Amino acid sequence: MTSTLRTLTVPLDVESSSGGLPSFLVRDDVLCWSRREAGLVGFGELTRFNATGPERFLEADIWWRHLILEAEITDQVELPGTGPVAFGSFAFSKTSPHVSRLILPELVVGIRDGRAWATQLTFDDGELTEAGVLASVDYWLSGGEPNGEDSAEGRSDVGPSPDTVAADGAGHLSHGSLSESAWMQAVADGVEEIRAGKLEKLVLARDVVATLPDGVNAAEVLRQLAARYRECWTYGVDGLVGATPEMLIQVEGRTAQARVLAGTLDRRDADGMDGSPMEYAERVLAGSDKQRHEHEIAIDSLTRQLAPFSEAMNSHSEPFILELPNVWHLASDVKAELADIEGHVPTCLALINALHPTAAVCGTPTLVAGALIRKLEHLDRGPYAGPVGWLDAAGNGEWGIALRGAVIEDANTVRLYAGCGIVEGSQPEAELAETWAKFRPMLEALGIRR
What amino acid positions are annotated as catalytic residues? 201, 246
At residue 336, the 3 state secondary structure works out as strand
Dist CA 236 CA 87 (whole Å): 9
Dist CA 405 CA 151 (whole Å): 14
Dist CA 146 CA 27 (whole Å): 8
- Helix pair angle (180-195, 428-446), 10° resolution: 130
At residue 195, the 3 state secondary structure works out as helix
Dist CA 217 CA 214 (whole Å): 9
Residue 324: which of 406, 266, 385 has the closest Cα? Answer: 266
Q: What torsion do the CA atoms of 246, 251, 255, 261 make, to the nearest 10 degrees? A: 10
Dist CA 240 CA 148 (whole Å): 14
Dist CA 115 CA 108 (whole Å): 14
Q: Where are the beta strands (DSSP E) in 92-239?
A: 100-104, 107-112, 115-122, 164-168, 171-175, 201-211, 233-237
Q: Are 176 and 208 in contact (CB under 8 A)?
A: yes
Nearest 5 degrees, angle CA 3-CA 7-CA 12?
A: 160
Cis peptide before 97 (omega within 30 of 0): no
